[in-house]
Amino acid sequence: MLANGEDSIYGGGRASVENLEFNWVNTLLGNVKNAITGTYHAIRGQHAPRYLAEFEYRFNRRYDLKAMIPRFLTVAARTPPMPYRFLKMADCYA
């Protein structure tokens, strides 16, 4: 029961899809799915955190698209190089 006395609907099915409070959740999940499947030809589970991190980067900067590429280039230029062995270690802890 919600604070205003209404019952909330949990679970799957048509009733939860038609719940207006969760419409934005369905929209966001659809955007994540389309962004990942539209960008990559093959998707591997072990790289899911990286796919989501890329989507998060673009989503958080969606209102300032003109500054996205210059900002990315600035951050990339300031980031020190990372040896391949450290990149492989990140896969173990992701």
In a 13 Å sphere around the CA of 57, the CA atoms on its Cβ side amount to 13
Judge whether 37 and 43 are in contact, CB under 8 Å. yes
Q: pLDDT tens digits, residue range 17-29?
A: 677 777 777 788 8
Average pLDDT, rounded, for the chain: 79
* The token pair that represents 74 in the structure block: 């600035």
- pLDDT of 94 higher than 60: no
pLDDT digits (tens, 9 = 90+) for 20-62: 777 777 788 888 888 888 887 778 887 788 888 888 888 888 8
Q: At what angle do helices 23-39 and 48-60 cross, to 10 degrees?
A: 120
**pLDDT score, position 90:** 67
